[in-house]
Amino acid sequence: MGFELRERWGAQPLWARWVLAVYLIGLTEGTGSHIADLVRGGIHAYASFPQVPLQVFFVSLVILDPLAAVLVGLVRRGGIWLANAVMVMDVSANWWGNRHWLRDDPAQLLWLMPITLFGLFVVAFAVPLRRTVAGAASRPQAALPSA
């Protein structure tokens, strides 16, 4: 498995390896953030969001973020699409759930900038990264030297 994984990462152009690494960092940070929220607040960690579907979604990110990170780390096309879907929903849910701040205290929205920028990064690179990963997967691999 280690050799195959090294081979998958090595088959990617340098820009794609950097993008995959940023995906991994962001998804891992998101995982840690949601785990910390649940440790602090339990199952009701997101009770400040009045919409129950948002609360359920944010709790589910404890599973979805690391799943996407593992699939991205394995250089799987499905990981890229899952990361994209998770980030679109995560950014949208955060902005929707915190929309009252637009009226009450717009400066509070600054804390949404990191997740928004990461979400835009993931969306911007989703198609080119998927194409590159798919292209590398379809190229024939060099034969291993015989012993």
Domain spans, the chain = 2-137
Does the pLDDT at position 136 exceed 80? no
pLDDT over 50 (residue 89): yes
Q: Residue 20: which residues within 8 A CB-CB, separation 6 or more?
A: 9, 12, 72, 73, 75, 129
Any idea which of 9-18, 30-39, 48-57, 103-112 has the lowest mean pLDDT?
Answer: 103-112
pLDDT, average across residues 109-117:
92
pLDDT level of residue 119 (50, 70, 90 thresholds):
very high
Beta strands in the chain (DSSP E): none
Interval 119-132 mean pLDDT: 97
Which one, of 28, 25, 115, lies nearest residue 64 by Cα?
Answer: 28
Average pLDDT estimate for 122-138: 91
Q: What angle do CA 68, 71, 75 make, to 5 degrees?
A: 130
Over residues 122-144, mean pLDDT: 81
Residue 102's pLDDT band, with cuts at 50, 70 and 90, is confident
Q: How far apart are CA 87 and CA 93, in angstroms?
A: 10
Above 50 in pLDDT, residue 146? no
Residue 139's pLDDT is what? 65
Q: Looking at 37-130, which runs of residues are DSSP E strands? A: none
Given phi > 0 = left and psi -120 to 50 = alpha, else beta, which region is 121?
Answer: alpha
> In this structure, what token pair is assigned to residue 109?
């929205």
Which value, in Å, is the radius of gyration of the alpha carbons in the chain? 18
Q: Are 46 and 59 in contact (CB under 8 A)?
A: yes
Dist CA 27 CA 70 (whole Å): 9
Does position 142 have pLDDT exceeding 90, yes or no?
no
Q: How many CB atoms lie within 10 A of CB 64?
A: 20
